[in-house]
Amino acid sequence: MGEDTLHEGWESILRLDPTVFKTSLSLSSVPRRKINLTAKEQALIGLAVSANAIHLYEPGIRTHVKAAIKEGATVYEVLEVIELSSTVGIHACNIGIPVLVEVLKEEGKFGDLITRDFDDKQNELKEQFAKRRGYWHTFWDDFLRLDPEFFEAYLEFSGAPWIKDVGKGDDPPRGALSPKVSS
């Protein structure tokens, strides 16, 4: 772990629990020593961890943005990491919606809503999702049935980083990050 990745939060950890501080440094230093990713890629991944919707750790975001820029990341690369990280919150739906459906079935409510075939619009959204993402999993079925409007908005929002043109001349346009970083 380099000096530029330490922030004020680490001081508190060192003061409150030196053992956790020491073991955290040891754990986080392994990828840096092995150098399978560039310092820029490591900073962008650190940013993704700090900026995702279930973490939102401002000192880490600040630290990793500074490190990424210092290592040559473009504004577009940093922005794309933040955009991609923002979709992590959807996993609450991936867990919550199946539970909701299970409870609705147990209670005998919304049975036909959950079991009916997709209408034309829903089939179109499913096809768009599978084309853009390269897969379709059955847990998306209930999400799409329960709220096609929200599903469509999520599809547009979550796909934006992969289809925007950042001036690189790609055809079709794609985001700023290399596939190994954006995956």
Q: What is the pTM of this model?
A: 0.64
The region of weakest confidence among 46-55, 60-69, 138-147 is 46-55
- Name the DSSP class of 138: T
pLDDT of residue 120: 98
Domain ranges for the chain: 3-73, 89-163
- Give mean pLDDT, residues 134-147: 90
Whether pLDDT at 2 is above 60 = no
Rounded Cα distance, 54 and 93, in Å: 13
- 3-class DSSP state of 82: helix
7-46: buried (b, 16+ CB within 10 Å) or exposed (e) per residue?
A: beebeeeeeeeeeebeeeeeeeeeeeeeeeeebbbbbbbb
pLDDT in tens, 76-88: 889 888 888 888 8
pLDDT in tens, 32-57: 788 888 989 988 998 988 888 777 88
Which is more confident, 172 or 114?
A: 114
Whether pLDDT at 70 is above 80 = yes
Instruction: Check if the beta carbon of residue 159 is closer than 8 Å to that of residue 129.
Output: no
- Give mean pLDDT, residues 15-31: 87
Compute the mean pLDDT over every residue in the chain, rounded to the nearest whole number: 83
pLDDT band at 177 (very low <50, low <70, confident <90, very high): confident
